[in-house]
Amino acid sequence: MSSRLINWFKFSSPATFYPLAGKIARVSAVIAVLLLAIGLYMSFFVAPTDYKQGEGYRIIFIHVPAAWMSMFIYLVMAFWAGMGLVFNTRLSAMMAQALAPTGAIMTFIALWTGAFWGKPMWGAWWVWDARLTSELILFFLYIGFIALQGAISDARRADRAGAILLLVGVVNIPIIYYSVKWWNTLHQGASVSLKSGSSMSAIMLETMLIMTFAFWAYSIAVALYRVRSIILEREKDARWVSELPEIRS
């Protein structure tokens, strides 16, 4: 095997990945805090008032990043699930399991901010808009995955069953999205779209991008931090765990 392939798999063993995850988690946590601070400052003080929606539109600066994150995290989980099944590396399944709660929270944030934004703009807490409905279904997919993981006690079976559910889910996401869009346009008289009416000025777009990267860094930090405790849970009898500095001290 070419040497490049070997060290590619070096980090697939929990023992070598554990310290690496710690370092990356700390770095991305710092980045997350920094970007969040900048993003929040910009979304309140730099971004101009929207001529149509006044101050209410500022919710977009967390609604859209959270919605993107919820979708992106599910795709990353499906990627790790695929890797786990193909290469049989148990760490990939741990990554998918570690990402699930963060993805579910991001989906909940997207739904919550979507409702809080819908109320002033369209007068209803819940609008059966195609994207909000698909977001709700995505939330059910996350809950299904977490419930399945919780219901299976044997870790190996939980990993592989979860992986199959994720792959089936990721195949279904486009189908669900377009069927909901079809359903929405059928029953929706006026086309209610969540995009703010006015076109996005450069500043608004910049703020949203910064907030998106902040959400990225936050998710990476939390997921890696959680994967460390999952590794500890799974490898608690291993010798390398007992020699860890935090265990021995």
- Residue 185 lies near other proteins (rule: CB under 8 A): no
Span interacting with other proteins, options 5-13, 87-95, 138-146, 190-198, rule CB under 8 A? 138-146
- Residue 210: both structure tokens together: 């910064």
Chain-centroid distance of CA 227 in Å reads 14
Compare residues 58 and 90 and give the one whose CB is closer to other proteins.
Answer: 58
Span interacting with other proteins, options 7-15, 88-96, 194-202, 224-232, rule CB under 8 A? 224-232
Give Cα separations from 234 to 10, 25, 155, 156 (angstroms): 19, 19, 8, 10
Interactions with other proteins, residue window 32-51 (CB under 8 A) = 44-45, 49
Span interacting with other proteins, options 8-16, 71-79, 141-149, 200-208, rule CB under 8 A? 141-149
* Residue 58 to residue 45: CA distance in whole angstroms: 10
Smallest distance from other proteins to CB 249, Å: 9
- Residue 161 lies near other proteins (rule: CB under 8 A): yes
Q: Contact 185/128 with Cβ under 8 angstroms? A: no
Residue at 39: amino acid letter: G
Span interacting with other proteins, options 6-14, 70-78, 181-189, 201-209, rule CB under 8 A? 181-189
Taking alpha carbons only, the member of 178, 75, 64, 170 closest to residue 130 is: 178
Compare residues 3 and 48 and give the one whose CB is closer to other proteins.
Answer: 48
Residues 6+ apart with CB under 8 A from 243: none
Compare residues 5 and 151 and give the one whose CB is closer to other proteins.
Answer: 151
- What number of other Cβ atoms are within 10 A of residue 19's Cβ? 12
- Residue 195 lies near other proteins (rule: CB under 8 A): no
DSSP 172-241: HHHHHHHHHHHHHHHH-SS----S-SSPPPHHHHHHHHHHHHHHHHHHHHHHHHHHHHHHHHHTTTSHHH
- Residue 86 lies near other proteins (rule: CB under 8 A): no
Q: Contact 96/163 with Cβ under 8 angstroms? A: yes
Span interacting with other proteins, options 3-11, 12-20, 194-202, 235-243, rule CB under 8 A? 235-243
Residue among 116, 122, 128, 213 that touches other proteins (CB under 8 A): 116
The three-class DSSP label of residue 50 is strand
Residue among 27, 31, 137, 192 that touches other proteins (CB under 8 A): 137
For residue 43, what is the DSSP state? I
Q: Which residues bind other proteins (CB under 8 A)?
A: 29, 44-45, 49, 54-56, 58-59, 62-63, 66, 101-102, 105, 108-109, 112-113, 116-117, 119-120, 137, 140-141, 143-144, 147-148, 151-152, 157, 160-161, 164-165, 167-169, 171-172, 175-176, 179-180, 182-183, 186, 218, 221-222, 225-226, 228-229, 232-233, 236-237, 241-242, 246-248
